[in-house]
Amino acid sequence: MDYYNDKTNQAGVKVFFMIVQILILSIVYIFVYTSFLAVGYAIDKYDVSPVRYFPVVLALIIFPILLYKYRQMFNAGKMLGAVTWMMGTASLTIVLLYAYIAQIAG
C-alpha cells in the first residue's frame, strides 16, 4: 500500500515548473530573435542607428534573470505568484517588443 508523500509531489511540481519556464523562455527568445531581424531590417531600409538594438538586447539579458527570480519565488512556496509573474512578464516583454518594432518600422 502506497502512502501519500507530499515531498514527491512537490518535486514533481518543481520539475514541471522548470519545464514550463524553459518553454516560456524559448517562446520569448523566438520573439527576441524576430525583433533582432526586424531591427536589422530597419537599419538597412530606414537608415536608423544601430543603437536601436539596445532594447532588444536588454530584453535578452533581463528576462532570464527574472525567470531565475521567479524560480526562487516558486521554491519559497509562493507558487501562484511565481506563475502569475512569469506569465505576466513574458506577455509584457512580447507586447513591448512588438510595440517597439512597430514604432521603428512605422
pLDDT at 56: 97
Taking only the tens place, the pLDDT of each residue in 26-61 is 999 999 999 999 999 999 999 889 999 999 999 999
Using alpha carbons, list the distances in angstroms from residue 71 to 14, 36, 68. Answer: 9, 27, 5
For residue 5, is pLDDT > 80?
no
pLDDT at 1: 62
Average pLDDT score over the chain: 94
Instruction: Return the exposure string of 10-34: e unless at least 16 CB atoms fall within 10 Å of the residue's CB, then b.
Output: eeeeeeebeeebeebbeebeebbee
Q: Give the C-alpha separation, 43 to 81, whole Å.
A: 39
For residue 23, is pLDDT > 90?
yes
